[in-house]
Amino acid sequence: GRFSSANSASCEACAAGKYSAATASAPASNCHNCDAGEFSGVAANACTACPQGTISTASGSTECTDCKGGSYSGGHAVVCLTCDAGTFAANDGAASCDACVAGQYSGEGEDSCKDCVAGHFSIASSVSCTLCPGGKYSAAAAAVAVVGMVRVPAAAVAAAAAAPVIVVASGA
């Protein structure tokens, strides 16, 4: 992590973002940039991989940057990856995305899941909600599969079937 100039009696530290693994190193050109996905402080003899949830996009980095909510990274990364639909990453610096629970859904790159509206349901990791099947309904939001629904009373089904249908003609 150090070098010496010609005719110098002492060694100087490599700058942050650079390293030198050589012993008895001379000149400053022996200090090399850390690769993208790595960083270093002053006088480093090696670079350190960016931890999970962070990235460095350029060589010679002195620090790693957190991935934003809705994205994640493994270690030693140069780009943050977008969470798939049906998953989310709530916080900056996520190492992975979490699955939406049953009764919720998400699109790609989300930092949270949304509840299904009343009359709809979903299973875990859903990208959308499904309308309750015929003869069943859900009065509450975030229904969990058919378990969150109740059977429509027979009297209500009969009344709906007997109700007159009104057709409105559009003007010509």
Tens-place pLDDT, residues 47-65: 999 999 999 999 999 999 9
Q: Which of 9-13, 16-20, 85-89 has the highest mean pLDDT?
A: 85-89
Compute the distance between CA of residue 34 and CA of residue 59 in angstroms, rounded to an integer.
5
- pLDDT for the residue 160: 45
- Backbone torsion region of residue 37, taken as left when φ is above 0, otherwise alpha when ψ lies between -120 and 50, otherwise beta: left
Higher pLDDT, 7 or 42: 42
Compute the distance between CA of residue 124 and CA of residue 121 in angstroms, rounded to an integer.
10
- pLDDT for the residue 157: 45
- pLDDT for the residue 116: 93
- pLDDT for the residue 165: 43
- pLDDT for the residue 30: 78
Tens digit of each residue's pLDDT (9 = 90 or more) over 64-118: 999 999 999 999 999 999 999 999 999 999 999 999 999 999 999 999 999 999 9
Asked whether 81 and 70 are in contact (CB, 8 A), the reply is: no
Tens digit of each residue's pLDDT (9 = 90 or more) over 116-167: 999 898 999 999 999 988 887 777 777 776 555 666 555 544 554 454 544 4
In this predicted structure, which of 9-13, 19-23, 118-122 has the lowest mean pLDDT? 9-13
Instruction: Please provide the DSSP assignment of the chain as one string.
Output: -EE--TT-SS-EEPPTTEE---SS--SGGG-EEPPTTEE--TTBSS-EEPPTTEE--STT-SS-EEPPTTEE--TTBSSPEEPPTTEE--STT-SS-EEPPTTEE--TT-SS-EEPPTTEEE-TTBSS-EEPPTTEE--SSSEEGGGG-EEPPHHHHHHHHHSPPP--PPP-
Q: Which residues contact 38 (CB under 8 A, 6 or more apart)?
A: 47, 48, 49, 50, 56, 61, 76
- pLDDT for the residue 168: 46
Cα(first)–Cα(last) distance of the chain, in Å? 84
**Tokens 């409105």 sit at which residue?**
168
Considering the chain, what percentage of its residues have pLDDT values greater than 90? Answer: 51
Compute the distance between CA of residue 159 and CA of residue 63 in angstroms, rounded to an integer.
68
- pLDDT for the residue 144: 74
Q: What is the pTM of this model?
A: 0.74
- pLDDT for the residue 166: 46
